[in-house]
Amino acid sequence: MSRFTAPLATGSTNPHAPADRSFAAAGQHLVGAAIAACTRFFALLFVPLLVLAATGCAALPGSVVRQPSTALPAAGSALQRIADHSLAGQHATLTGLRLLPNGDHALDARLALVQRAERSLDLQYYAWHDDGTGRQLLAALRDAGRRGVRVRLLVDDLHTGALQPLLAGLAAHAHVEVRLFNPLPAREGSVAGRVLGSLHDFGRINHRMHNKLFIADGALAVAGGRNIGDEYFMRSPVANFVDLDVLAAGPVVTDMAAAFDRYWNSERSWPVHALAAPAAGAALRAQFDAAVAAAPRGQQVEPLDRLGRSSVSVQLAAGRLDLLAAPVHLLIDAPDRQRCAEPDDRDPTAATPCAAAEPGAVDALFAAMRETRRELKITSPYFVPGADGMAMLQAVADRGASIRLLTNSIGATDEPLVHWGYARHRPAMLRLGMHIRELSPTLPARTLAFGSFGRSAARLHAKVVVMDGHRVALGSANMDGRSARINTEMLLLVDSPALAAELARLASAEALAGSYRLRLGEGQRIEWLANDGEAERTLTEEPGLDWAQRLKLGLLSLWIAEEQL
């Protein structure tokens, strides 16, 4: 996401506002002087005036030439040979998977794939930060292009304002193409300023590409929750994410490549040069090379990750990856699929026609979750179930299955207003018998179960569902209205008791000690139980929430439709 200087509503001074809640951060920046970084959609209080002011201020080019391209064949590359060797003896329909829970190992995997790619690199990300990690990977992509590797990079446009010169410079190098998904008419300035200058096209720009995908030589892919930025790989001194990716080999990679092509060739994907000011290629390349010259070189990696595995770079060098074989189904939204929402008097721009909407990734996930018989485990940084989600949870609870939820506390979240939307449902979920835990921003540092946070705050960003100990869903989608109805998402639905067991190891008692346990106390009031390593303490007031923030969020929630959270 863009680098904001305004403090977050939680009181954090983190200049890197996390990327998943795009319009929230934009709204926070817009009205920071008035209400200390309140919300992405606070501007909608003044929609008629803002639209009038914005109309005619910015516009996209009238036409653009898009040269179509498709994924290159995987056969014959060294990475394909390693993938085949790693899956030797497995049925041809099974996909090989390896979880990447550690930030250093997740970055190592990406760098190793870029360095070993021989034919193609296809990357698709919601947010790419202009920081050490972002520049390191951009430099690696340039180097791959210089070796003759075809590089296609697709980035959602919302957070590319400051990054556009770098993206244009990368695209000026040989064998590299860069496209921006669903560009905003306003091309310069902060996210908030660009959104404000594009409000006349709000119905379109509200639709963002939230996917995260990295494919090397059509043979190996990385997908999951991580965007590209320091805090996704435990490199930020201020706040770092508990996150999760998966490395994949086999049939699902072919499906991912086809999905990438669909996005790449979509009319919503614009070549970066069609949106940037004209400039000579040599000058763009020189500016890019100078900008990334000081980027980090290499990556320090712990010998083993949290599951006891050596790094992907080490295993690639040995010629074999440690993979679990399982049937995998790819759930992905169409790039041009418009979500539908019921009309809302508070937000007339939120409603879009429902008639043509095709089923989405989250719809399919909810259908799978509804089939749970014994145990449903949900990990989601943003959890606003809405009416459909509550009906699904009720059906699972009525069947006698246990339901466990891990999400962010108000102190850990980067989106207080989204947390407020979740908080509305907490009493009802606890009455269903759900076991709810909320990640603390400080307790994980005491356990080291998620890695070493140092002095940085902890925030949950992983998105995982485990059903009945064998069905697993992981990917980019949160459990909220924005993922279900507005953004595009990608998920892997896996049937693997072994993978579910690995996830259970990651969610150990030691790891969960970094979270608050919720319960209903006297008078049906929520209580938060915290384990500080010595004893469990009971808190009757929500940790991290003061009266001023409670008042602000309560007032703002009157104006924001839950479907937009």
Give residue-wise pLDDT tens across range 116-164. Answer: 999 999 999 999 999 999 999 999 999 999 999 999 999 999 999 999 9
Helix residue spans in 319-378 (DSSP H): 361-370
Reported as a pLDDT band with limits 50, 70 and 90, residue 565 is low
Burial 336-363 (b: 16+ CB within 10 A, else e): ebbbebeeeeebebbebeeeebeebbbe
**Same structural domain for residues 346 and 321?**
no
Reported as a pLDDT band with limits 50, 70 and 90, residue 509 is low
Reported as a pLDDT band with limits 50, 70 and 90, residue 549 is confident
**Same structural domain for residues 354 and 417?**
yes
* Cβ within 8 Å of residue 421, ≥6 positions away: 384, 480, 557, 560, 562, 565
**Same structural domain for residues 208 and 292?**
yes
The answer to whether 13 and 5 are in contact (CB under 8 A) is no
- Most confident range, picked from 33-42, 297-306, 435-444, 531-540: 297-306
Reported as a pLDDT band with limits 50, 70 and 90, residue 563 is low
**Same structural domain for residues 516 and 543?**
yes
Q: Which of 47-61, 101-115, 145-159, 174-188 is least confident? A: 47-61
**pLDDT over 90, % of the chain:** 65
**Same structural domain for residues 195 and 275?**
yes
In a domain, 127, yes or no: yes
Instruction: State yes or no: pLDDT of 363 exceeds 70.
Output: yes
The owner of tokens 């929402």 is 341
Q: Which of 147-151, 199-203, 469-473 is least confident? A: 199-203
Annotated active-site positions, please?
Answer: 210, 212, 217, 461, 463, 468
Instruction: State yes or no: pLDDT of 79 exceeds 90.
Output: yes
Reported as a pLDDT band with limits 50, 70 and 90, residue 343 is very low
Question: What gap in Å lies between CA 249 and CA 323, rounded to an integer?
Answer: 8
- At which of 325, 348, 369 does a domain end? 325
In a domain, 390, yes or no: yes
pLDDT on residue 20: 56
The answer to whether 248 and 256 are in contact (CB under 8 A) is yes
The answer to whether 186 and 197 are in contact (CB under 8 A) is yes
**Same structural domain for residues 303 and 339?**
no
pLDDT on residue 384: 95
**Same structural domain for residues 88 and 152?**
yes
Reported as a pLDDT band with limits 50, 70 and 90, residue 34 is very low
Instruction: State yes or no: pLDDT of 400 exceeds 50.
Output: yes
The answer to whether 153 and 176 are in contact (CB under 8 A) is yes
Question: What gap in Å lies between CA 457 and CA 8, rounded to an integer?
Answer: 13
In a domain, 430, yes or no: yes
**Same structural domain for residues 509 and 427?**
yes
Q: Which of 24-28, 235-239, 256-260 is least confident? A: 24-28
Beta strand residue intervals within 440-485, DSSP E: 457-460, 464-467, 471-475
- Most confident range, picked from 339-348, 424-433, 541-550: 424-433
Roughly how many angstroms between the first and final C-alpha of the chain, as a whole number?
Answer: 17
Which pair of tokens denotes residue 495?
């049937």
Instruction: State yes or no: pLDDT of 54 exceeds 50.
Output: no
- At which of 278, 294, 325 does a domain end? 325
The count of domains in the chain is 2
Reported as a pLDDT band with limits 50, 70 and 90, residue 536 is confident
pLDDT on residue 61: 87
**Same structural domain for residues 131 and 275?**
yes
pLDDT on residue 41: 39
pTM: 0.88
DSSP letter, residue 19:
S
**Same structural domain for residues 433 and 317?**
no
In a domain, 239, yes or no: yes
Alpha-carbon distances, residue 260 vs 87, 101, 115, 298 (angstroms): 23, 24, 21, 28
- Name the nearest CA neighbour of 444 among 479, 410, 412, 487: 412
- At which of 262, 292, 325 does a domain end? 325
Reported as a pLDDT band with limits 50, 70 and 90, residue 457 is confident
Reported as a pLDDT band with limits 50, 70 and 90, residue 533 is low
In a domain, 23, yes or no: no
In a domain, 343, yes or no: yes
What residues does 384 pair with on adjacent strands?
Answer: none
pLDDT on residue 9: 27
The answer to whether 114 and 121 are in contact (CB under 8 A) is yes
**Same structural domain for residues 84 and 214?**
yes
Range of the domain at 547: 334-564
Q: Which of 184-198, 426-440, 481-495 is least confident? A: 184-198
Reported as a pLDDT band with limits 50, 70 and 90, residue 311 is very high
CATH number at residue 310: 3.30.870.10
Per-residue pLDDT averaged across 395-399, rounded? 96
